[in-house]
Amino acid sequence: MHKKGTTETMQEKPFYDDVIFEVSSFFEERIKKAKKFGIENIVLDVGIGFGKRLEDNIALIKNLEHFKRFGYPLLVGASRKSMIDMIVKTPVEERLAGSLSLHQMALENGARILRVHDVKEHKQMVEIVKAFS
């Protein structure tokens, strides 16, 4: 999972010249390192909300296709994230609709794994989306 900085500092004015390029570079380095240690089962997580501004998170979800070039499944975990509150003021416990929307967009753009809080609701959303595929 990509994260800028440490857990303690990641949200202190995060900035990227090009978030897609920086996350890609991170993945290239980590994939190389994992393979060096014989790790083949790799899942890539762009790290929604981890050292990212709203515009970075949006860019990552919109451009997930870019990361498919690595040949590994893409994971997105946007469930109840603060980016939902930044778009529509919503307390954490009322962010299900926003979570479903973000995850549907992530699936449409190349995500294959979702990290969620509300499993039943997400399963229903995934089944509905699959019916239209």
Active-site annotation, residues: 81, 115
Contacts of residue 116, defined as CB under 8 A and 6 or more positions apart, other chains included, come to 77, 79, 99, 103, 122
Q: Helix 54-62 vs helix 19-36: angle between axes, to the nearest 10 degrees?
A: 70
Contacts of residue 74, defined as CB under 8 A and 6 or more positions apart, other chains included, come to 43, 44, 45, 46, 64, 67, 68, 106, 110, 111, 112, 113
CB atoms within 10 A of CB 47: 21
DSSP 3-state assignment of 130? helix
